[in-house]
Amino acid sequence: MPDAYPYETVSAALKQSAEELAVLPEGERAVVRPWLQAFTATWVQGHISYGGEQIRQQIQAVYDAGYEEWILWNSSNRYDADGLQAAQ
């Protein structure tokens, strides 16, 4: 169940994305800006509560996969500040 593995799910998706885009010349590649889950999917059987830790795991997966951009998604527009870290 992908919902229970925020880092692994985002990491696997972005690694596959990088493989698909690698066949194109660098100047022709799309900018990848993944939407990250910032809500608890209560309708998913066996869901986990999404808070700061799960958001940070997804963001780290983006960076670990070599990407630099991301967007958080929560249809209620309520975001957990614990999921964000100050720029260093």
- Per-10-residue mean pLDDT of the chain, 88 residues long, equals 90 95 93 95 90 94 95 90 72
Selection from 46, 50, 62 nearest residue 7 by Cα: 62
Residue-range domain boundaries for the chain? 2-78
Q: How far apart are CA 42 and CA 46, in angstroms?
A: 9
pLDDT for position 69: 95
Residue 61's pLDDT is what?
A: 97
The pLDDT assigned to 79 comes to: 85
pLDDT in the model for residue 86: 62
